[in-house]
Amino acid sequence: MTSPTKTIACFGETVLRLAVPVGEFPLQSPRLDTYVGGAETNVAVALSTLGHPVRMLGALPDGPIGDAAVSELRRHGVDAAHMLRPAGRMGLYYYLPGGTMRPAEVVYDRADSAFAAAKADDWRWDELLAGVDWLHVSGVTPALGPQSAEATLAAVRAARAAGIRISFDGNWRGRLWSRWNSDPAATLRPIVAEADVLFGNHRDATLLLGREFSGDGPDRRRDAALALLDAFPKLETVASTARHIVEPTKHQIVARIDRRDDHAQTETADITPITDRIGTGDAFAAGVIHGLLTTETLGAAVQRGLALAALKHGLQGDFAPFTRPMVESVSFTAADVAR
């Protein structure tokens, strides 16, 4: 086990969640709960809490709301000094938790946010990535619009040229893509082509590779991971989780990680009760990145991912600010599976 010393940069939109209280319709009572979030921001906070030096790259509006979000990042030890601070507004999403016979719902209100309105060349990658060892990005950012997609591609290309390791989380957001892009795979493929580590399952593989993966459970995930590794030669590692909803508040998750020459899968973890599912995928990504940087085996890395994802299910809000001892005290069995 090694100490976390590598500097990680996360590029993406920091957003504000406005959550309707459980058991209510929107605006039924004069209250919305607020949480700072955003897929890459969630990864930044989790990794910072685990002890890694983390830099958040993005844009927050100049003014008190942007200042409050910056304070929230700093409270978790994330370096927010490199964020752009243009005039504009904060990206929002409303969370309606649903209820009996009513599914939960997310409503985005982020179309013209300070981040989405930024031009691709507002970000100077040579400066922003100086001193960085690892860059994390996700599919949410290119989904925001052509400028954000161009910025994401420029970021990963600059990182690759500078010898910085790159992780990419698929994070499919159909409702963001459908606003402007009829061929998301064409936008995503050159970004994924630069990544070393991909968080994605058979659905991401189908989108990126244009073919279905049949079979059941582990076989389908293994085939998808191997196909992704074949299709994208710079990719070294593919990690994913599979969720089985047993009851609304009891889910089972299996986590898997593949390299060309190695693989590991966890035993099924029963996760109950479930307080808040949002950000659990980001927690998994952060835990795996932490594991890859600090542990020796793929089995240990995927266990860290599942542990952090499991812990996040029990915490309100988008962030997973769990310390190393908390994550390391959760144990699942890592079982090698035959290919």
Tell me which residues touch ligand KDG (CB under 6 A). 15, 37-39, 42, 93, 140, 173, 278-279, 281-282, 318
Of 198, 86, 106, 184, the closest CA to residue 144 belongs to 184
Q: Which is nearer to ligand KDG, 196 or 318 (CB)?
A: 318
CA distance 52 to 235: 23
- What is the closest distance, in whole angstroms, from the C-beta atom of residue 104 to ligand KDG in the complex? 12
- What is the closest distance, in whole angstroms, from the C-beta atom of residue 278 to ligand KDG in the complex? 5
User: Which spans in 61-183 are helix H?
Assistant: 64-75, 114-117, 125-128, 140-143, 146-161, 174-177
- What is the closest distance, in whole angstroms, from the C-beta atom of residue 144 to ligand KDG in the complex? 9
- Rg from Cα positions in the chain: 19
- What is the closest distance, in whole angstroms, from the C-beta atom of residue 304 to ligand KDG in the complex? 18
Task: State whether the Cα torsion 288-291-292-296 is positive or negative.
Answer: negative
- What is the closest distance, in whole angstroms, from the C-beta atom of residue 312 to ligand KDG in the complex? 10
Q: Which is nearer to ligand KDG, 15 or 159 (CB)?
A: 15
CA distance 173 to 166: 21
Q: Which is nearer to ligand KDG, 111 or 335 (CB)?
A: 111
- What is the closest distance, in whole angstroms, from the C-beta atom of residue 318 to ligand KDG in the complex? 4
Q: Which residue is nearest to ligand KDG (CB)?
A: 37
Q: Which is nearer to ligand KDG, 125 or 177 (CB)?
A: 177
CB 38 within 8 A of CB 15: yes
Mind spelling out the 3-state secondary structure of 101-136? CECCEEEEECCCCHHHHCCHHHCCHHHHCCCCCEEE
- What is the closest distance, in whole angstroms, from the C-beta atom of residue 33 to ligand KDG in the complex? 14
Q: Which is nearer to ligand KDG, 133 or 318 (CB)?
A: 318
Q: Which is nearer to ligand KDG, 110 or 304 (CB)?
A: 110
- What is the closest distance, in whole angstroms, from the C-beta atom of residue 143 to ligand KDG in the complex? 8
Q: Which is nearer to ligand KDG, 257 or 320 (CB)?
A: 320
Q: Which is nearer to ligand KDG, 12 or 88 (CB)?
A: 12
- What is the closest distance, in whole angstroms, from the C-beta atom of residue 39 to ligand KDG in the complex? 4
CA distance 281 to 262: 23
Of 318, 316, 286, 307, the closest CA to residue 51 belongs to 286
CA distance 290 to 3: 10
Q: Which is nearer to ligand KDG, 173 or 290 (CB)?
A: 173
Residues 6+ apart with CB under 8 A from 293: 2, 4, 6, 52, 134
Count Cβ atoms below 10 Å from residue 165 Cβ, excluding itself. 20
Mind spelling out the 3-state secondary structure of 206-244? HHHHCCCCCCCHHHHHHHHHHHHHHHCCCCCEEEEEEEE
